[in-house]
């Protein structure tokens, strides 16, 4: 029997702020699915694994400099406690140094058993725990957040909406931005005219072939204008497919 049928997709989040969870993940699509048991969320308080008198989780950086560093022993103990025996889930550390999160990675995570996510705070975590526990650093963009929690919420939200039974229409996950290296075409809804702006005539034509061609052309135009990196990948893939 596959893991998916025995236990739902499970995110274990290690954080100094467990009260930030489920947070936004408790509302809307993700929240309803959480309530229905489609996925599980466990917030582990890293501070519960500090053992000195002051329950300290951080200390001054070796070599000097500003800020504080999360202690290797405390983070490792929290991680070891959160992992089940032979836990197959990827162990991620949210980090601006990490590999940028992509929709392809999100899809791969959604197909697996879940994730274990460590949220950094302060200047980050002691390098030795990253090495010793094989943590994979993942970034949500070239910005610096004050903590890994909002990044973990971004990652989990993106994965959960792809789990079977979470989104209304099965296909609504397929024609979206990034699925084929293209950004999405523009959307319109009623009224037909608003502030002197009309819905493009082709969308009202009822001609599904024309509509599909127009949407593809618009997706290509927007991608070319906004994301030369994606446009190059799209061109290379089209050349390969020929």
Share in percent of the chain as helix, strand, coil (round to 5): 40, 20, 40
Residue 72 contacts ligand SAH per CB under 6 A: no
- The least CB distance from residue 15 to ligand SAH, in Å, is 10
To the question of whether residue 120 is assigned a binding role by annotation, the answer is: yes
Q: 155 phi and psi, to 5 degrees?
A: -60, -50
Q: What is the DSSP letter of 5?
A: H
In the complex with ligand SAH, the residue whose CB is nearer, 24 or 173, is: 24
Secondary structure (H, E, C), 68-119: CEECHHHHHHHHHHHCCCCCCCCEEEEEEEEEECCHHHHHHHHCCCEEEEEE
- The least CB distance from residue 132 to ligand SAH, in Å, is 17
Residue 158 contacts ligand SAH per CB under 6 A: no
**C-alpha–C-alpha distance, residues 87 and 200, integer Å:** 52
Binding part of the chain for ligand SAH, among 19-27, 113-121, 179-187, 234-242 by CB under 6 A, reads 113-121
**Interface residue with ligand SAH, options 30, 58, 106, 120 (CB under 6 A):** 120
Residue 139 contacts ligand SAH per CB under 6 A: yes
> Which spans of this chain sit near ligand SAH (rule: CB under 6 A)?
94-97, 119-121, 123-124, 139-141, 143-145, 147-148, 151
Binding residues: 120
């Amino acid at each position: 029997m596959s893991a998916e049928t025995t236990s739902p997709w499970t995110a274990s989040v290690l954080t100094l702020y467990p009260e930030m969870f489920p947070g936004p993940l408790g509302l809307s699509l993700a929240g309803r699915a959480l309530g229905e048991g489609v996925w599980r969320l466990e917030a582990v308080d890293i501070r519960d694994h500090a053992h000195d008198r002051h329950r300290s989780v951080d200390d001054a950086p070796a070599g000097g400099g500003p800020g504080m560093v999360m202690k290797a022993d405390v983070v490792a103990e929290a991680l070891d406690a959160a992992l089940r025996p032979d836990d197959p889930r990827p162990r991620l550390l949210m980090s601006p140094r990490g590999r940028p999160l992509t929709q392809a990675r999100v899809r791969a995570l959604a197909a697996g058993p879940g994730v274990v996510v460590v949220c950094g705070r302060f200047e980050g975590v002691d390098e030795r725990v990253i090495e010793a526990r094989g943590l994979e650093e993942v970034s949500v963009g070239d910005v610096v957040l004050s903590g890994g929690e909002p990044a973990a919420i971004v990652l989990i939200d993106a994965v959960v909406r792809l789990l079977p039974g979470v989104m209304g229409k099965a296909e609504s996950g397929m024609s979206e931005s990034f699925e084929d290296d293209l950004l999405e075409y523009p959307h319109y809804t009623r009224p037909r005219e608003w502030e002197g702006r009309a819905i493009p005539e082709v969308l009202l034509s009822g001609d599904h072939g024309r509509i599909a061609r127009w949407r593809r052309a618009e997706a290509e135009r927007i991608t070319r204008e906004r994301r030369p990196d994606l446009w190059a990948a799209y061109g290379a893939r089209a050349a390969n497919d020929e």
